[in-house]
Structure 1
Amino acid sequence: MDTSEQSRREERAPAADIAPGTAAEEGGGGGLAAWLVRRGLIPETGPKRVFAAATFVNMIGKGLFMAGAALFFTRSVGIPVAQVGFALGAAALIGLVAGIPVGHVADRRGPREVYRIAVVVQALAVATLVFVHSFPWLVVCMCLAELANSAGTAARGPLTRAVGAPHPTRYRSYLRALNNIAAGCGALAAGVVVQLDTRTAYVSLILGNAVAFLVCAALASRMPSVPPVGAPAETGRWLALKDRPYVVLTALDGIMSIQTQVLIFALPLWIIGHTAAPRWFVGVSVAVNTALVVCLQVRASRGIDGNVAAGRVVRRAGVAFLLATALIAAAGGAPGWVAVVVVALGVVVHTVGELWHTAASFELSFGLAPAHAQGQYSGLYGIGQGLSNAIGPPLLGMVCLGWGEPGWLAMGALFLLVGLLMPYVVNWSDRTRPPAAGPDAP
């Protein structure tokens, strides 16, 4: 192990002091809770379990909103679809600008306090939507909600790192699996609202989302405060933006993150419009992906114990994405049952790549950021992932659906190229930063 890699691990040690006891101590003994801890189904007692509960409730609210908000705006409020799309897109782009400055505040004031304020503001902004009856006010409320969401995301990065110590990547992988379950619960509840299709039902959905955010803030209040890590005297204010290797890493990870749109956007349209597979298989493919993420995300994070290992895993993910896109492309001219089998294999292989990429991305976002600027770096990293959500659907629509089979192969080749480049960027980052980024560095 090289010196820079060892220093990255040592930087994480101070964050461990907020989590009392070790997993063995807290999960020991008998009882159902101890058995669930040993199985990895719930975190150890203390901050990890409280933060997991807050994250779960938060994601239920987001699941409600994502599945039913557009219908609320169009069918209940009466705003045209085009205006709703513009408002949501503008809010998403404006929300990205909050990440770095709010992350900087979280580094200086403490991530728990900033996270709690951001979630409360988000709750108030969402609740205000029930009073919206015009396009301009929709834009204002959605921009405020997205700014708060981006701020909460930036603060959640250092909070997750501190709570999850000494293995933040494994803990964040657990939270991702939990988020998939919560989002599914929220989507199911939204489905009931959509079926009722009444003003009262839609208002209940929006207010339920706001209540979920308030409950999340209340749970976050039960967590111990995370003290800021002192920064070296010569550190500039916008350190993350000056870190060229990390900026490049953010851009590459943003490109790779377009893969998250493959199964939820491009594949359903490909199955229905370009293959002989039955329409019902769209739902099956999404269910398979969700089930695999819930069951295997934590396991996929094992062995990713440093930056170098994470870089290698991203390269492996690129290979998996190329194979998956080739399988999906092959379903284009295949008979019905063959198309089902080939697409199913493609979904499984793609999900394996997704698990690898996600776990490695978690590790790199923590490991290549100095301990005193985790919030600021988390905000920068979130910009890359946010942009991938914005450009992913139109890019996949043009390349995969517009070009057909060659387009799927082109996207797979792009993912492979990013995977091959990532280890070199990781090595560049390790070479160009000091042996230890904390204030106690010799």
Structure 2
Amino acid sequence: MNPNSTLSPDRQEAAPPDRRSWLVRRGLLLESGPQRRLALGGFVNQLGTAAFLATAPLYAMRVIGLSVGQVGLGLGVAGVVGLLAGPPVGHLADRRGPNGVFLATLLIQTAAMVSLLFAHSFVAFMAAVAVTDLAGASGGAARGPMIRRFGGDEVPKFRSYLRSVAFLASTFGALAAGVVIQLDSSAAYRALIVANALTFLGCAAVLLRLPRLEPLPASTGSDRWLALKDRPYMAFVVLDGILWIQGEVVTYALPLWVVLHTEAPRWFTGVALAVNTVLVVLLQIRTSRGIKGGRLAGRATQRAGLAFLIGMGVIALAPGLPGWAAAAIMLAGVAVHTLGSLWHAAGSLELRFRLAPAHAQGQYSGMFGIGMGLCYTVAPALLGLLCLTWGAPGWLAMGTLFVAAGLAIPFVVRWAARSRELDA
């Protein structure tokens, strides 16, 4: 029994005032500590990366003088090289500690970005972007254990917050890229590259004061291919990679659908992207609440697949409608699709850490990154064939594929539970 309960209200001690800032109380800013530093570093890093990715092809063509084919080949080769780095570097982070490995990748990215200023040929351009992508993928694998261990018992919520921060940074980065593209000068493109290099150093400076994370003892040896041999996890990576294609629906398929197949005004593509970004930033943390454990995460992916099918089915109704009606119905479809992306991200990122052993988070994060990277490589061709070539039936076919992948993931979770310690 509380001894103060018998006291009169005027004699009870008043609760101490909450001196936290309004942003912290509302959940818009994390408490001071490692989580806030990791989020701030991610924001700075993503800000420069988003701006660079939007302008890299133009820099290669306008300043270096490469052809469209050379630019596509160079970026494609760089992307493949980056995908291969994740698991081995993640394994290194597991065995040596993630802090130093992550900081090293940021320094390598800085040097590679600066070297791009001196690239005057196709080979030099490809080498610079390949090293940048290689270090970026390696950094993602090393960052995974940091998220898992600094997140503690709130990993799903923390990872959702980081995703919202990344979306916000990408929006600001895209705006900066728009200014540079409008100026369309060699000096502007070069200035953006220098700014991106500085963001890598800024991220490193922020994360330098993080507490050092020591390697966790490996209970199953130091097999650097442990994740590759984990069949349930590999099945999850494949199915989840299919679901991550949903991110390209709004950014790639929808703009072309609007321009080529509907009467909606072209500026609607910007509105759709803005709505998608705002919903993710505002709702990602709230959506992730309560999604903790394999069973609930599996259900979230099931709901996500159904939402993708409904949203894409609605978007497919736009051709033949007047411009305003087409825009309105596609906006509704985008909203439903974004709700599915929120559920998918919450479930996916919970399972990413839940299915991975604690001592091999880096290696498993690298394998997870390969799944996401492959999806972004395949997405343009697949969405182009189904949604843009087949039309409405293709949108429904793609949505059905999302449903199938979402429905299959809970079975994979139960398969994984038989070989590792998971909640029911």
- Taking structure 2 as the reference length, what is the TM-score of the superposition? 0.94
**Aligned-partner SS, 1:416:** helix
Alignment partner of 1:337 is 2:338: no
Q: Which residue of 2 aligns with 1:306?
A: 293
User: Whole-Å Cα distance in 1 between the matches of residues 84 and 266 of structure 2?
Assistant: 39
| CA distance in 2: counterparts of 1:415 and 1:266, whole angstroms | 15
5 Å matches for 1:308-327? 308-327=295-314
Unaligned runs of 5+ in 2: 1-15
2:35 & 2:187 partners in 1: Cα distance?
A: 37
- The structural deviation recorded for 1:29 is 5.2
> 1:396 — aligned with what?
383
* Preserved CA contact (<8 Å) 2:88 2:224: no
Deviation at 1:70, TM superposition (A): 1.3
Residues 304-344 of structure 1, C-alpha deviations (whole Å, 9 max, x = no match): 01111000100000000000111011112322222112101
Look up the match of 2:343: 356
Partner of 2:360: 373
1:52-92 residue CA offsets vs partner (Å, 9 max, x unmatched): 11111001111210121111111112111210111001100
- The 1-side partners of 2:234 and 2:65 are apart by 42
The offset of 1:233, in angstroms, is 4.9
Q: Specify the code of the residue in structure 1 equivalent to 2:113.
A: V
Q: Tell me which of 417, 420, 424 is aligned to 1:433.
A: 420
In structure 2, distance between residues paired with 1:329 and 1:419: 21
SS of the equivalent of 1:228 reads coil
Query: Offset at 1:190?
Result: 1.8
Q: Which amino acid aligns with 1:242?
A: K
The aligned residue for residue 128 of structure 2 is: 141
Structure 2 vs 1, CA of residues 180 and 316 (structure 1 numbering), >3 Å: closer, same or farther? same
1:217 aligns with 2:201: no
Deviates more, 1:115-124 or 1:192-201: 192-201
1:407 maps to 394
| Cα offsets for 1:390-441 (capped at 9, x unmatched) | 00011100111010010000000000000110100111011122579xxxxx
Matched, 1:90 2:77: yes
Q: Which whole-Å CA distance do the structure 1 matches of 2:378 and 2:80 have between them?
A: 11
Partner of 2:188: 201
Output the CA distance in 1 between the equivalents of 2:263 and 2:24: 45
Query: Is residue 2:256 matched to residue 1:269?
Result: yes
- Deviation string 1:234-279 (CA, Å, 9 cap, x unpaired) is 5633211110000000000111111100000000100111111111
C-alpha change, 1:410 and 1:133, in structure 2 (3 Å) is same
Shift of 1:119: 1.0
Tell me if 1:280 matches 2:251: no
Q: Percent identity?
A: 52
Give aligned pairs, total: 408
Counterparts of 1:211 and 1:231, CA distance in 2: 36
**Aligned with 1:384 (options 359, 363, 371):** 371
The aligned amino acid for 1:95 is G
Residue 260, structure 1, aligned to residue 220, structure 2 = no
Aligned to 1:297: 284
3-state DSSP of counterpart to 2:245 = helix
The change in CA–CA distance for 1:233 and 1:336 in structure 2 (over 3 A counts) is: closer
| Preserved contact between residue 64 and residue 120 of structure 2 (Cα < 8 Å) | yes
SS of aligned partner of 2:316:
helix
Aligned residue in 1 for 2:213:
226
2:83, 2:306 → 1: CA distance? 30
Residue 29 of structure 2 corresponds to: 42
Q: Counterpart amino acid of 1:209?
A: N
Shift of 1:219: 1.0
Residue matched to 1:440? none
Question: In 1, are the aligned partners of 2:99 and 2:212 still within 8 Å (CA)?
Answer: yes
Q: Which residue in the other structure is 1:76 paired with?
A: 63
Cα distance in 2 between the residues matched to 1:236 and 1:91: 27
| Greater radius of gyration (CA) | 2
Distance 1:308 1:236 in 2: 28
What pairs up with 1:12-161 in 2 under 5 angstroms?
A: 30-31=18-19, 33-161=20-148
**Equivalent in the alignment of 1:421:** 408
Taking the aligned partners of 1:232 and 1:135, their CA distance within structure 2 comes to 46
Does the 8 Å contact 2:87/2:224 carry over to 1?
no
The equivalent residue for 1:189 is 176
1:431 & 1:413 partners in 2: Cα distance? 29
Q: How has the CA–CA distance of structure 1 residues 37 and 276 changed in structure 2, closer, same or farther, with 3 Å as cutoff? A: same
Q: Tell me, what secondary structure is at the counterpart of 1:313?
A: helix
Deviation of the 1:376 alpha carbon: 0.4
Partner amino acid, structure 1, of 2:55 = G
Give, in whole Å, the separation in 2 of the partners of 1:280 and 1:146. 32
Q: For 1:108, give the aligned amino acid.
A: R
CA–CA distance in 2 between the matches of 1:369 and 1:183?
Answer: 28
In 1, Cα distance between the equivalents of 2:80 and 2:360? 23
Per-residue CA deviation, residues 346-377 of structure 1 (Å, 9 max, x unaligned), is: 00000000000011111000101000000000
Q: What is the DSSP-based 3-state SS (H/G/I as helix, E as strand, rest coil) of the residue aligned with 1:395?
A: helix
TM-score between the two structures when normalised by the length of structure 1: 0.90
- Over 3 Å counting, the alpha-carbon distance change for 1:234 and 1:201 in structure 2 is closer
**What letter matches 1:433 in structure 2?**
R
Gaps of 5+ in 1: 1-27, 437-442
Letter in 2 for 1:278: P
Question: CA–CA distance in 1 between the matches of 2:186 and 2:126?
Answer: 21
Alpha-carbon distance in structure 1 between the residues aligned to 2:332 and 2:292 = 29
What SS does the corresponding residue of 1:167 show, helix, strand or coil? helix
Q: Distance in 1 between matches of 2:174 and 2:72?
A: 20
